[in-house]
């Protein structure tokens, strides 16, 4: 069968209810009604708020009898203030659900707003540590419809969010099962406007999610299979999406890879994310691009624990040299092909806070899923290699 954008269409439940395919944003009003949402608040960022994809979504909802409010005060690497301001707008507008529309930041803020509607505790009490989520008031958490416009974070199928505590300058993963959107609309036409740089950064985020889930040292064969196929999709389609942003087949497959990564990483993440979170919190770098910088350095560190597993993955995705070295070289080639920085220095990150960042990374929840247990000293060593470019 010849692969066309018309073939790439379906309704899935895994476990989020997903409507996948070009043009499916037209179903937004119907989805709102099915979710029991009659007065949604659409949460997005300032850049998207002025574009037709957001204006048309709101107008189409209005025409269908679903009046929709707008909150767009969301910044990259969102902070609590963004959630707090959105929560105020939600309550003042008597809204009954959230449409989280955009990249990872609007999706995380939208989900956090919906989660915090009934809460009386600070959001930090629900950090993804132990059973903290059981402290939350579940009754009254608002339903969320997720509409991603990038192909990276996979937040549209996730039960957590990442919010920066602006007082401590640390990123926190907030988790609750009811953060899972009730429906996600994955429409590749909404991702066509991404720049090549954003396409690369979000695509490398999807790669990091799938790869770290596949490599995590826990028993979860379902996540292993999803993660392996997600890596293959990135290999096949990220270069095309980067070179030709209008290619809807490539855009659709990258949307699928992003959702797969976030589905798979319920198994675990690892040091790529643990190292990236302090960098993003302190230097406000793009999360996916930062993951892309760290990826080969962490691969090399983890080699003793994952060499055979990565060789199997290399064979599955069709590398001509199906070995660990072949896979590592492929990641470096992919970064070069997408003009991704090789070092932290090229990313604009200094080396003066590495010890502080190492301590932050050591206690970051993804660190506990790394195939080799990592200490602050180990992480400091990786920071230094990523700064000097020594893979």
pLDDT above 80 for 2: no
The predicted model scores a pTM of 0.93
Q: What is the DSSP code (8-state) at residue 93?
A: T
Residues in Cβ contact with 210 at an 8 Å cutoff, skipping those fewer than 6 apart: 226, 227, 228, 230, 231, 234, 257, 260, 261, 264
What pLDDT sits at residue 7? 85
Q: Assign domain 10-190 one CATH number from 3.30.9.10, 2.40.10.220, 3.40.50.1970, 1.10.8.100.
A: 3.40.50.1970
First to last CA, the chain: 41
User: Which ranges constitute the DSSP H helices of 144-195?
Assistant: none
Tell me the CA distances in angstroms from 187 to 25, 104, 190, 222, 256, one per residue in order. 6, 15, 6, 25, 10
What pLDDT sits at residue 197? 95
Asked if residue 329 lies in contact with residue 321, where contact means CB atoms within 8 angstroms, the answer is yes
What pLDDT sits at residue 29? 98
Q: How confident is the model at residue 3 (pLDDT cuts 50, 70, 90)?
A: confident
Query: Is the backbone peptide bond immediately before 68 cis, with ω within 30 degrees of 0?
Result: no
Tell me the CA distances in angstroms from 111 to 32, 39, 163, 175, one per residue in order. 15, 16, 11, 10
Mean pLDDT of 24-38: 97
From CA 107, how far away is CA 110, in angstroms rounded? 5
Tell me the CA distances in angstroms from 133 to 53, 157, 268, 339, one per residue in order. 34, 18, 17, 40
Mean pLDDT of 148-172: 93
Task: For residue 170, give the 3-state DSSP assignment.
Answer: strand
Q: Strands of 40-43's sheet, edge to edge?
A: 10-13, 17-20, 183-186, 144-148, 97-102, 40-43, 69-71
The pLDDT tens digits of the residues spanning 219-278 come to 999 999 999 999 999 999 999 999 999 999 999 999 999 999 999 999 999 999 999 999
Mean pLDDT of 77-87: 96
- Is the C-alpha dihedral spanning 45, 49, 53, 56 positive or negative? positive
- Is the C-alpha dihedral spanning 14, 16, 19, 21 positive or negative? negative
pLDDT above 90 for 6: no
* Phi, psi values for residue 61, rounded to 5°: -65, -45
Nearest to 27 by CA among 160, 142, 148, 187: 187
User: What residue has token string 């643990």?
Assistant: 274
Q: What integer best gives the mean pLDDT of the chain?
A: 96
Q: Which residue has the higher pLDDT, 77 or 38?
A: 38
* Joined tokens for residue 50: 């002025």
Pairing of strands 183-186, 69-71: unpaired
What pLDDT sits at residue 12? 80
- Count CB atoms within 10 A of the CB of residue 217: 16
The DSSP line for 301-326 is: HHHHHHHHHHHHHHHHTT-SS-SHHH
Q: How confident is the model at residue 1 (pLDDT cuts 50, 70, 90)?
A: low
Domain boundaries, given as residue ranges, for the chain:
10-190, 192-388
Mean pLDDT of 95-111: 97
CATH top-level class for 192-388?
Answer: mainly alpha
């Amino acid at each position: 069968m010849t692969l066309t954008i018309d073939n790439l269409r379906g309704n899935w439940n895994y476990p989020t209810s997903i409507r996948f395919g070009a043009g499916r944003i037209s179903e937004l009003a119907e989805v709102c009604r099915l979710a029991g949402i009659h007065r949604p608040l659409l949460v997005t960022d300032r850049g998207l708020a002025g574009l037709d994809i957001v204006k048309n979504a709101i107008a189409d909802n209005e025409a269908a009898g679903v009046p929709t409010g707008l909150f767009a005060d969301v910044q990259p690497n969102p902070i609590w203030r963004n959630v707090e301001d959105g929560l105020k707008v939600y309550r003042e507008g008597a809204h009954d659900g959230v449409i989280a529309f955009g990249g990872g930041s609007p999706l995380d803020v939208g989900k956090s707003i919906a989660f915090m509607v009934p809460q009386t505790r600070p959001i930090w009490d629900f950090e993804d540590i132990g059973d903290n989520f059981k402290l939350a008031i579940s009754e009254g958490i608002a339903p969320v419809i997720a509409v991603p416009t990038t192909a990276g974070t996979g937040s549209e199928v996730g039960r957590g969010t990442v919010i920066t505590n602006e007082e401590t300058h640390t990123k926190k993963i907030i988790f609750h099962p009811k953060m899972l959107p009730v429906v996600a609309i994955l429409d590749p036409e909404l991702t066509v406007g991404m720049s090549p740089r954003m396409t690369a950064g979000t695509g490398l985020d999807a790669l990091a999610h799938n790869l770290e889930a596949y490599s995590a040292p826990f028993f979860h064969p379902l996540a292993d299979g999803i993660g392996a196929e997600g890596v293959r999709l990135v290999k096949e389609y990220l270069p095309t999406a980067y070179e030709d942003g209008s290619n809807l087949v490539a855009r659709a497959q990258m949307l699928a890879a992003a959702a797969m990564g976030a589905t798979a990483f319920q198994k675990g993440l690892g040091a790529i994310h643990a190292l990236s979170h302090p960098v993003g919190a302190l230097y406000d770098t793009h999360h996916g691009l930062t993951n892309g910088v760290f990826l080969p350095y962490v691969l090399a560190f983890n080699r003793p624990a994952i060499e055979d597993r990565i060789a199997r993955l290399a064979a599955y995705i069709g590398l001509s040299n199906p070995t660990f070295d072949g896979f590592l070289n492929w990641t470096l080639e992919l970064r070069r092909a997408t003009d991704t920085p090789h070092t932290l220095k090229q990313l604009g990150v200094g080396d003066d806070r590495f010890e502080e960042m190492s301590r932050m990374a050591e206690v970051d929840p993804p660190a506990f899923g790394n195939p080799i247990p990592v200490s602050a000293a180990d992480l400091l060593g990786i920071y230094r290699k990523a700064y000097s470019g020594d893979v």
